[in-house]
């Protein structure tokens, strides 16, 4: 797992960020609930996993669901992981 900041991509806008990620990764994880409405994702090959929260404690509590989603998400798929 890499953070956009670690990649030197801080401040990069979503469309460009996804393009950069697509060159190096198979899966893009985001908590941006508007991403699918703001970007044309039809031509993307990277899988995108949208988390319904950015609250780290809640994400950690849902780690089993997160691992399962990461393992089963396929290329070009846009999946939403509901985190209680």
pLDDT digits (tens, 9 = 90+) for 42-62: 889 999 999 999 999 999 999
pLDDT, residue 17, reads: 87
Confidence (pTM): 0.86
For residue 6, the model assigns a pLDDT of: 66
Query: Bridge partners of 28?
Result: 48
User: How far apart (Å, rounded) are the C-alpha atoms in residues 45 and 10?
Assistant: 22
Q: Which residue has the higher pLDDT, 25 or 3?
A: 25
pLDDT tens-digit map of 4-42? 766 777 777 778 888 999 999 999 999 999 988 888 888
Instruction: Quote the pLDDT of residue 43.
Output: 87
């Amino acid at each position: 797992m890499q953070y956009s900041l670690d990649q030197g991509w801080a401040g990069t806008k979503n469309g460009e960020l996804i393009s950069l990620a697509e060159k190096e990764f198979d899966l893009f994880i985001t908590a941006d609930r508007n991403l699918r409405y703001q970007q044309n994702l039809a031509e993307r090959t990277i899988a995108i996993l949208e988390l319904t929260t950015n609250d780290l404690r809640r994400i950690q509590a849902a780690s089993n669901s997160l691992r399962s989603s990461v393992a089963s998400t396929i290329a070009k798929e846009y999946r939403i992981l509901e985190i209680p």
